[in-house]
Structures are given as C-alpha cells and as structure tokens.
Amino acid sequence: MPEETTTLEAKAILRFARISSRKVKIVADLIRGKNVDEALAIVKFTPKASSIIIEKLLKSAIANAENNHGMNRGNLVISEIYATQGPTLKRIRPAAKGSANRIRKRTSHITIKLREV
C-alpha cells in the first residue's frame, strides 16, 4: 500500500471585496506560481487598485502559514490564487425624462493558497 504524502497548505480568503473579480484576476495572473517574496515585490509595484487588496491578503496567508502550520517563509510558493464573483449591489441613478439607470457595484471573493516547496 503506497504512502500518501500530504502537503500542508495555508490559505487566506477575502470575501465581499468591493472590486470586480475581473480587475483582481489581472494581478492574480501575474503572481500565480511565484515565490511569496517575489510575489510581494510584483504586487507592490503593480499600479492597479486590486494590488493593494492582494498584498494585504498575501501577507495574511504568509502569517497563517508561519503561525498556524509552522511553515518556513523562504520555501513558500503561491499554489493557487483565484477571484470569483460575489454578490452584486444594485443601485439606481436618475436619468433623463424621469427614467433611471441601473448601477451594478460588483464584489468578489479572493482566495490565496500557499504550499511549501
């Protein structure tokens, strides 16, 4: 009977972030599969609104890995990062001739998973 090797995985999830998942995916694609220190450097110098959110979430995932799972920061790699669509807040904006336009304020759920190499 072969032994199962279980790899520890630390994760951090941000739910109901007030940014479209489409905008988050642009930055997420840049850092997928990278070392955490390299990923933090990329996120820090990426001029996108979602990079601030992802940076905080990545730091949280690193802290979870170190404190909850006893993982070594130098060996951490982003195994998964994805953003899914959350609920949309629907608002109304007055328009011409007494009509109204719908404003959709989109939210997203962002997940980062780290594993040790």
Instruction: Please indicate, yes or no, if residue 2 is contained in any of the structural domains.
Output: no
Q: With bands split at pLDDT 50, 70 and 90, how would you rate the model's confidence at 112?
A: very high
Domain of 93, in residue numbers: 10-116
Number of domains in the chain: 1
Instruction: Please indicate, yes or no, if residue 4 is contained in any of the structural domains.
Output: no
pTM of the model: 0.89
Q: With bands split at pLDDT 50, 70 and 90, how would you rate the model's confidence at 18?
A: very high
Instruction: Please indicate, yes or no, if residue 110 is contained in any of the structural domains.
Output: yes
Residue 27: which residues within 8 A CB-CB, separation 6 or more? 43, 46, 48, 50, 51, 54
Give me the percent of the chain exceeding a pLDDT of 70: 95
Instruction: Please indicate, yes or no, if residue 112 is contained in any of the structural domains.
Output: yes
Instruction: Please indicate, yes or no, if residue 1 is contained in any of the structural domains.
Output: no
Considering only CA atoms, which of 21, 81, 33 is closest in space to residue 55? 81
Instruction: Look at residue 5 in the predicted model and tell me its pLDDT.
Output: 62
Domain CATH code at residue 35: 3.90.470.10
Tell me which amino acid residue 115 is: R
